[in-house]
Amino acid sequence: MPVPVSQMWTVASYVLRQKFAGRKQYPLVLMLEPLFRCNLACAGCGKIQYPAHILKKDLTPEECFRAVEECGAPMVSIPGGEPLMHPQIGEIIEGLVARKKYIYLCTNALLLKEKIDLFKPSKYLTFSVHLDGQREEHDLAVCREGGYDIAVDAVKEALRRGFRVTTNTTLFDGANPKSVRAFFDEMMELGVEGMMLSPGYSYDKAPDQKHFLGRARTRRMFRAILSNRKKNWQFNLSPLFLEFLMGKRTYPCTPWGMPTYNIFGWQKPCYLLQDGYAETFAELLATTEWSKYGTESGNPACANCMVHSGYEASAVNATFSSLGGFLATVKGTLFPAYRDEEALRMLEEPQAAVHPLVQIAPTAQAESLQETGA
Ligand code: SF4
Ligand 1 geometric centre to CA of 272 (Å): 7
Look over the chain and give the mean of its residue pLDDT values, rounded to a whole number.
89
Please measure the distance between the N-terminal and C-terminal CA atoms of the chain and give it in whole angstroms. 37
Ligand 1 geometric centre to CA of 29 (Å): 15
Helices (H), 81-176: 89-98, 112-115, 135-141, 147-160
* For ligand 1, atom 4: residue with the closest CA: 302
> Which residue in 226, 242, 247, 253 sits closest to 329, CA to CA?
242
Tell how far CA 224 is from the center of its chain.
21
Ligand 1 geometric centre to CA of 367 (Å): 33
Torsion of CA 172, 174, 177, 179, to 10 degrees: -100
CA distance 111 to 130: 12
Q: Considering the entire predicted model, what is its pTM?
A: 0.90
In which element (H, E) is residue 125 found? strand 125-130
CB 313 within 8 A of CB 202: no
Closest ligand 1 atom to Cα of 254: 6
pLDDT tens digits along 356-366: 444 444 444 44
* 15 φ/ψ sector (left φ>0, alpha ψ -120 to 50, else beta): alpha
Q: Ligand 1: does its nearest atom lie under 6 Å from the Cβ of 55?
A: no
Tell how far CA 88 is from the center of its chain.
22
CA distance 190 to 326: 31
* For ligand 1, atom 7: residue with the closest CA: 310
Q: Ligand 1: does its nearest atom lie under 6 Å from the Cβ of 273?
A: yes
Ligand 1 geometric centre to CA of 270 (Å): 6
CA distance 334 to 342: 23
Q: What is the residue-level pLDDT of the chain in tens, covering all 374 positions?
A: 568 899 999 999 999 999 999 999 999 999 999 999 888 777 666 676 788 899 889 999 999 999 999 999 999 999 978 999 999 999 999 999 999 999 999 999 999 999 999 999 999 999 999 999 999 988 888 888 899 999 999 999 999 999 999 999 999 877 899 999 999 999 999 999 999 999 988 655 555 555 556 788 889 999 999 999 999 999 999 999 999 999 999 999 999 999 999 999 999 999 999 999 999 999 999 999 999 999 889 898 998 899 999 999 999 999 999 999 999 999 999 999 999 999 999 999 887 655 544 444 444 444 444 444 44
- String of DSSP letters for 5-44: HHHHHHHHHHHHHHHHTT-SS--SEEEE-S----S---TT
